[in-house]
Amino acid sequence: MAGLVVLGLIVLVTLYVTLEPLRRGQVADPDAAQREELLAERDRLYTELADPGQGDHRPDLERRAARTLRALDALPPAPGRGGARRLALIGTVAALLVTAIAAFTVVPRWQLASLDTGEAANVQAVLDLPQLRATAERTKTNTDYLAWGKAAFDSGTYDQALTAYGNALKLDPRQPVALRRLGILLLTRGEQTGQEISEQDATQAALLVRTAAQLAPSDPESQLLLGYTLARFGQSRDALDALERYRTLSPTGREADELITALRGRLQQADPALTVYAANCASCHGPAGGGGIGPSLRVSTLTRAAMAIIIRQGKGAMPAYPQLSGRDLTLLLTLLEDWQKAGQ
């Protein structure tokens, strides 16, 4: 909408400038009085020179006529009749042509440039979608199906994304992007259509997302969608692990922040060991033990006994925690051992 307003202002300003000569009419000649006087003098002298009876006065008349002609030549040319109008009309036509071209080229690109990267990609996906769909339906190749599916998914046209990714998987069933996106679309289809998904369909959709994560474990989107899927099935611990891996793979990603916070709160209420960890360790070693100011506890190779000594007595920059009760220390050590086994 803003782009259309700007384009309209450009058209109005352009028309105002180019039509100014038409509003003013013929441009006035500032030398008109002197020009008319000299022309009248020239005509009078020409008439006298044409009289054969001038005799001795003829040389004087010729000198005066020459001076008059030189004075006329020294004046700037008089404005031509209709010249300004023709120029204004030509300028108007040119301005309208430029504006029309800009409406379909420069202005859309300028609008995209004013958006952030994600929004611009979504808008471009909407613009490209019809052509990508037509191409995929004509060629029926895997590459074109994936391109169509991506544009449909990014633009929120999920019915087309389902069709495109489904066709791509018929050609090659081991494509992580198509698997995970088809899976999450099937899993959330009930939210889009208002129809409840069956338990069998939900299980099948979750299997697609899990398979994609196994095929591409280092892809941030694989872990993101796996985390969402596990959370829907109530597997909070595994879901949080997947989302923490997503944050590690994509440090700037913020799509799962709210879910991560909710899962942490849910787990701390259900798991007393996490409550102990959150109160004493999370500020330095990260909310899930992945590291922060302090090192990652998930890649530690310390024995249970060594960890107990460091927690009680401290080491280096790490403070001592002698106030921990025997029960809390046991819970914390068991949690750290489980993280060591799970690794990153």
Q: CA nearest 183: which of 144, 216, 213, 217?
A: 213
The pLDDT > 90 percentage for the chain reads: 21
Contact assessment for residue 147 and residue 136, using Cβ atoms and an 8 Å cutoff: yes
Contact assessment for residue 72 and residue 38, using Cβ atoms and an 8 Å cutoff: yes
First to last CA, the chain: 47
Average pLDDT, the chain: 79
Distance, CA of 93 to CA of 19 (rounded, Å) = 11
What confidence score (pLDDT) does residue 260 get? 84
Distance, CA of 123 to CA of 8 (rounded, Å) = 22
What confidence score (pLDDT) does residue 77 get? 77
Helix 272-280 with 326-342: angle, nearest 10 deg: 90
Instruction: Write out 223-269 in H/E/C secondary structure.
Output: HHHHHHHHHHCCCHHHHHHHHHHHHHHCCCCCCCHHHHHHHHHHHHH
User: How does pLDDT run across 105-160, given as a tens digit for each residue?
Assistant: 544 555 445 545 555 555 666 778 899 999 999 999 999 999 999 999 988 888 99
Report, as an integer, the average pLDDT of 15-43: 69
Distance, CA of 172 to CA of 237 (rounded, Å) = 32
User: How does pLDDT run across 185-224, given as a tens digit for each residue?
Assistant: 988 887 666 677 788 888 899 999 999 999 999 999 999 9
Distance of CA 233 to the CA centre of its chain: 33
Distance, CA of 137 to CA of 142 (rounded, Å) = 11
Contact assessment for residue 208 and residue 254, using Cβ atoms and an 8 Å cutoff: no
User: How does pLDDT run across 58-105, given as a tens digit for each residue?
Assistant: 777 778 878 878 877 777 876 655 555 565 566 666 666 656 655 555
Which residues are CB-contacts of 244 (< 8 A; sequence separation ≥ 6)? Answer: 260, 287, 288, 290
pTM, rounded to two decimals: 0.52
Distance, CA of 82 to CA of 343 (rounded, Å) = 85
Contact assessment for residue 225 and residue 253, using Cβ atoms and an 8 Å cutoff: no
What does the DSSP assignment read for 67-108?
Answer: HHHHHHHHSPPPPPTTHHHHHHHHHHHHHHHHHHHHHHTHHH
What confidence score (pLDDT) does residue 115 get? 47
Q: Does 6 have pLDDT greater than 60?
A: no
Torsion of CA 236, 241, 244, 250, to 10 degrees: -120
Distance, CA of 306 to CA of 158 (rounded, Å) = 53
Angle at 35 between CA 29 and CA 40, to 5 degrees: 140
What confidence score (pLDDT) does residue 166 get? 93
Contact assessment for residue 117 and residue 123, using Cβ atoms and an 8 Å cutoff: no
Q: Which of 79-93, 155-169, 237-251 shows the lowest per-residue confidence on average (mean pLDDT)?
A: 79-93
Report, as an integer, the average pLDDT of 2-14: 59
Quote the tokens at residue 306. 């060594």
What confidence score (pLDDT) does residue 107 get? 47
Helix 326-342 with 304-313: angle, nearest 10 deg: 130
